[in-house]
């Protein structure tokens, strides 16, 4: 099965994606991880990415779409994809649909982890200490949160009409969110 998990920065998408990967022997497709890997390579694309991230902006759809195409067409990952934080725009959602259609796949479940700004701030501060992630600057995260809420609203509207869409209270404890997702997957 293929699953999309989306929500604002710090909502716990990565944590839930990892849970699903381990539980169902799937592959986590984290645009954040893919982009950070490209930054580590110090490639031209990586430099564009870091500039966008430091400004609190999202990375251009064209860059993200190219990086994802290779993964979607990997035969070993077919129908085992957990999309973590993708798609973030309507263009990305439509691109994902085209890629999946071309590779004879579809999305089985869509989870939106809904979390308010105060919860995000607390999580980011904690994650900054525990994981020492370079992109966990509170000011940048708040910009990214605001950008996310504006840019992703159309994607939320787009998917919320889909019968595969499930909104989950992302401010719950990690295990409670995992249990809620499992409950939905069992139905």
Give first-to-last CA distance, the chain, whole Å.
14
Is 88 within 8 Å of 148 (Cβ atoms)? yes
Among the listed residues 13, 2, 35, 30, the one whose alpha carbon sits nearest the alpha carbon of residue 135: 35
DSSP string for residues in 12-62: SHHHHHHHHHHHHT-EEEEHHHHHHHHHHTT-HHHHHHHHHHHTTPPPPHH
DSSP string for residues in 49-104: HHHHHHTTPPPPHHHHHHHHHHHHT-GGGTT-EEEES---SHHHHHHHHHHHHHTT
Q: What is the pTM of this model?
A: 0.82
What are all long-range contacts of 100-104, with beta carbons under 8 Å and residues at least 24 apart? Answer: 100/2, 100/72, 102/73, 103/72, 103/73, 103/78, 104/78
pLDDT in 10s for each residue of the chain, 187 residues? 999 998 887 788 889 999 999 999 999 998 878 888 888 888 888 888 888 877 777 788 888 888 888 899 999 999 999 999 889 888 889 999 999 999 999 999 999 999 988 888 777 777 666 766 555 566 777 787 888 888 888 998 999 999 999 999 998 989 999 999 999 999 7
Write the DSSP symbol of residue 11.
S
Which domains does the chain carry? 3-177 (3.40.50.300)
CA–CA separation, 105 and 25 (whole Å): 17
Partnered with residue 167 across adjacent β-strands are: 112
């Amino acid at each position: 099965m293929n699953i999309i998990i989306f929500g604002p920065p710090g909502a716990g998408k990565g944590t839930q994606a990892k849970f699903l990967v381990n539980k169902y022997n799937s592959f986590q497709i984290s645009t954040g991880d893919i982009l950070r890997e490209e930054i580590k390579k110090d490639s031209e694309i990586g430099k564009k990415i870091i500039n966008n991230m430091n400004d609190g902006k999202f990375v251009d759809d064209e860059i993200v779409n190219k990086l994802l195409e290779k993964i979607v067409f990997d035969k070993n990952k077919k129908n085992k994809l957990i999309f973590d934080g993708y798609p973030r725009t309507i263009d990305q959602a439509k691109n994902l649909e085209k890629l999946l259609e071309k590779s004879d796949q579809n999305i089985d479940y869509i989870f939106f982890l809904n979390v308010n700004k105060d919860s995000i701030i607390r999580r980011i501060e904690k994650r900054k200490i525990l994981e020492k992630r370079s992109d966990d600057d509170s000011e940048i995260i708040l910009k990214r949160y605001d950008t996310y809420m504006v840019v992703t609203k159309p994607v939320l509207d787009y998917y919320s009409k889909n019968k595969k869409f499930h909104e989950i209270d992302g401010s719950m404890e990690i295990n409670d969110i995992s249990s809620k997702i499992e409950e939905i997957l069992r139905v």
